[in-house]
Chain A
Amino acid sequence: MENVKAFKNPLIWRTQLFINNEYVNSVSGKTFEIENPSTEDIICRVQEGDKADVDKAVSAARRAMERNSPWRTMDSADRGKIIHKMADIIERDAAYIASLETMDNGKPFASALGDVGFSVAILRYYAGLCDKIEGKTLAMPNGKFGYTRYEPVGVVAAITPWNFPFLMSTLKVSQILAAGNAFVLKPPEQTPLTSLLYGDVAIEAGVPPGIVNIICGFGPTAGAALTAHKDVNKVAFTGSREVGHIIQKASGESNLKRVTLELGGKSALIIGKSADLEKVVPLAQDGCYVNMGQTCCALTRTFVHEDVYDEFVRLSAEYANESRAKIGDPFQDGIKYGPQVDKVQFDKILDLIESGKKEGAKLECGGGRLNEKGYFLEPTVFSNVTDNMRIAQEEIFGPVQQIMKFSSLEEAIDRANDSDYGLVAAVFTNDLSEALYLSQELEAGQIWVNDFMLMAPNTPFGGYKQSGIGRELGFDGLLSYLEIKTVLVKL
């Protein structure tokens, strides 16, 4: 998207819940406040949904998924056309959506615009997939005929996070709709404003009523009501590992709704002794600080070969200090990093930084607050980090880089794998054999070679171990929103 300018004080268009193609207040009438993390100002209040609203939304979704409903009987190519229309609408309104995202979340406008562009690409990928979801005919013995059908799983609860609000909601919406389902989206309470626009997008694109529903609210209330609901067939959650466990339990306690989880990570980056440091130092730090560190797949454990370790640390501190000038008002041109999303995150990161100092890591630079107003943090680099420290094991979700030393590749692999997480592992090398070997050995859903944030609409993404269950994006991503039915006929 070129030459797109920000609206510096965008109008907050939608603050109500969206049920059955209508924006409505919550049953209780309660609201909650939304903060701009760059200024700490309260910018609006949003309707707060709870169990009563979730019940209304799920009923609307269930009706819209009845056997003879317009959505169930629509040609798959027509469903694709509707999703293409949604992409067109979002592309048309990219400047507004990105501006609203920057005000609500604090990410620089250029990043928000990038998120909207990627969202459009994802919608278009899935729009083109609708009429290509094919079952098989089966080779059956003894005069029987068999085939499989891929059917929509039903009513989906989608619970999305605050770090890439519009993009994460789009990721769920596009897969859910391409597979022919209905959904109730609970966007993050910290940053719901852009997700709320999906109601207008759905109406303009021609989605039948009841297919798209949006209930704003909090996890323990609205979120829990969704995950406990007996009439929800599936829950797709992106967020913290702790809440992921809760959702998995809730499925067991209710109706065994299918669960996919995209959770956190403590992704390792391995840098060998032949690395070109000039190239690799900026990449390594950018890959750690991406989105102010608020990224599930940030590269937060940097394993550096002992031969280049000292120089790597020195250059990393230098690069971090250069970044200070690029932290500020996310609406300003040339800004690379905005604030953290809220005080809770801000305090948590500072607490983990303290633990790093206390447990004996060396603070190379940063470590504290930047600016008087807004949740801005200094870019922070720790060296001499050992694997048992809290900063080496816990997800920090801030601009804090951990640099660890290793002697042999085998050692680096074992230490990288010694984690409850397994989202990404990255390798910076020009040695082809080394790249392929590491790709096999590292226990992570994504292996990135020579870059970070490598993903596209058609590349499946998800976690090993406690980084999640299931995959999103690509054709594989769609499978978790479908139910396979096998039809067998005796002739």
Chain B
Amino acid sequence: MTTVKYTKLFYNNDWHNAVSGRTFPAVNPADGSKLCDVAEADSSDVDIAVGLAKKTFEIGAPWRSIDASKRGLMLLKLADLYERDIDYLAELETANCGKLLSDSKGDVKFSAGVIRYYAGWCDKICGQNIPCDGDYFAVTKKQPVGVCAAITPWNYPIAMFTLKLAPILACGNVFIGKPAEQSPLTALYIAALCVEAGFPPGVVAVLPGYGPTAGAALANNMEVNKITFTGSTEVGKLIMKASGDSNLKRVTLELGGKSPNIIFADYDNLEYAAMVAQEAAMTNMGQCCCAGTRTFVQEQIYDKFVEMSRVLAEARVVGSPKDDMSQHGPQIDKCQKDKIMELIESGKKEGAKVVYGGMSLDKEGFWVEPTVFADVGDEMRIAKEEIFGPVQSIFKFKTLEEVVKRANNTQYGLGGAVFTKDIDKAYTVASSIDAGTVWINCYNAGEANTPFGGFKMSGIGREYGEESLNNYLETKTVILQVPKKIN
């Protein structure tokens, strides 16, 4: 049984009960058991944290004049601490969100790398010296945007929390995180590591709680300068509206997807493509915003591909996420499980062919079988709605022009992939798919320095990479009159 060290709200480098005194349970989705009670933040707690954050960010306060390279050193220390405590962090992640232990470990390692990437940016965030007309000296300064609220999801708790925390701090801002209510425990542990890494009081706050209360309080707060949200498209829209209703806080959103994975007959390793395609749909039990949930297979190789997918799904080892042999664990909670099963039933009803699975498992926790549908029609619910479950849908196509149209026929635009050996096909499809990331002969590849984000209703803005810094900076142009200009 994993011991949970931190269960209270975190701000001012210390732990606090909620003003209301309320708590909520943290659950292990592998068996439905309760891990502990966690303090539940509400608008009163948000007010306290925001007030503190504002003071910490004031002109004249130490955090506003700290050397950029020193911020970098603190972030490097934080990365080292992630690695020091990798076993505990991974165990806690798996216990709280059901992720395979090997994946949790991978996420911790990847997150340490992300922190290091952003640490290196601190003293390299430069403005420009601009040759404008007239007797002026014109420069731009990139300043931190200010108080940043980060609302993070339950599918990759550590990785998503880190993806916001690292660049927000690297750019010199102050951070208030609201981790998902399903999986708050690792964010709280990371808060303790921030203290150890040397971040001064007031720079980092973590407020576990619910969306409609704590989340909404942050989205509507008049003193929060920026909100960054990863989660459902539905909530993303609410946050956009809240920005308009309040102080026009800057918004970045990473939302859902229904990403197409297009497999051409000329690709020379069908087994490999089938394996990658299934992993793209099933990884993290399908709880991945950019999951390859629509697999388009060219008609010449379709039957063979479907059969390969059946074999792969059958071989997928379902078991305890703590077990090294497992490849498939539980879904996060009952609500998600019910939603997935409802969509699977709709697939059966609307005439898709169940190639494998399609059932939930009768055991403690929230389990759904790896499921493969073939002969899926573009108008079916399973073709249009984000399932967020272990469901692969296979569609047949004839030509490049046709499949690109069908792939783009969605309000989403997060990821996309094409498997082909032909350079022209690869370039054309990559350029034509309306998605923030297009993979060629691979899926879900990406590092700390490759930008990621959505077209259309999959999001606004990009994370990772140099571009992501712009999310957390405000450009100031300074124009000084000089007696005479010279070039």
Contacts and interface: CB of A to CB of B under 8 A. Distances in A.
A124 interface: yes
Given A131-B448, A440-B485, A77 B116 contact: yes
B379 to A, nearest CB: 33
B120 interface: yes
A433 B482 contact: yes
Interface in B69-86: 69, 72-73, 76
A439 B423 CA distance: 52
A457 interface: yes
A107 interface: no
Contact of B123 (A80, A458, A491): A458
B449 A457 contact: no
List of 5 A-B pairs having minimum Cβ-Cβ separation, nearest first: A128-B120, A440-B486, A436-B482, A491-B427, A131-B449
Interface size class of B (residues with CB under 8 A): 20 to 34
A432 B113 CA distance: 43
Contact of A437 (B120, B424, B482): B482
A125 B480 contact: no
A129 interface: yes
Interface in A427-473: 432-433, 436-437, 440-441, 456-458
A305 interface: no
Contacts of B57: none
B124 A129 contact: yes
A131 to B, nearest CB: 5
A491 B423 contact: yes
A432 B483 CA distance: 11
Main secondary structure of the interface of A (DSSP, over half): helix
A382 to B, nearest CB: 32
B121 A132 contact: yes
A80 B72 CA distance: 14
Interface size class of A (residues with CB under 8 A): 20 to 34
Contacts of B69: 121, 124-125, 457
A128 B124 contact: yes
B427 A145 contact: yes
Given A124-B69, A128-B119, 15 more contacts: A77-B113, A77-B447, A124-B72, A128-B120, A129-B120, A129-B124, A131-B120, A131-B447, A134-B466, A441-B486, A458-B126, A491-B423, A491-B424, A491-B427, A491-B428
B117 interface: yes
A132 B483 contact: no
Contacts of A80: 116, 120
Interface of A: 77, 80-81, 84, 121, 124-125, 127-132, 134, 145, 432-433, 436-437, 440-441, 456-458, 475, 489, 491
Main secondary structure of the interface of B (DSSP, over half): helix
B124 A132 contact: yes
Contacts of A475: 124, 126
Contacts of A437: 482-484
A77 B448 contact: yes
B45 to A, nearest CB: 35
18 contacts: A77-B113, A77-B116, A77-B117, A77-B447, A81-B116, A84-B76, A121-B69, A124-B72, A125-B69, A128-B116, A128-B119, A128-B123, A131-B120, A134-B449, A432-B480, A456-B123, A458-B123, A458-B126
A456 B124 CA distance: 12
B7 to A, nearest CB: 35
B15 interface: no
Contacts of A132: 120-121, 124, 449, 466
A436 B137 contact: yes
Contacts of B122: 128
Contacts of B137: 436
B257 to A, nearest CB: 23
B123 A125 contact: yes
Contacts of B480: 432, 436
A77 B76 CA distance: 13
Contacts of B73: 124
A458 B116 contact: no
B487 to A, nearest CB: 9
A130 B117 CA distance: 9
Contacts of B447: 77, 131
A441 B484 CA distance: 10
A214 to B, nearest CB: 27
Interface string B394-417: 000000000000000000000000
A445 to B, nearest CB: 15
Q: Which of B69, B428, B448: most chain A Cβ within 10 A?
A: B69
Nearest to B428: A491
Contacts of B113: 77
A432 B137 CA distance: 12
A59 to B, nearest CB: 33
Q: Which of B122, B482, B485: most chain A Cβ within 10 A?
A: B482
A433 B124 contact: no
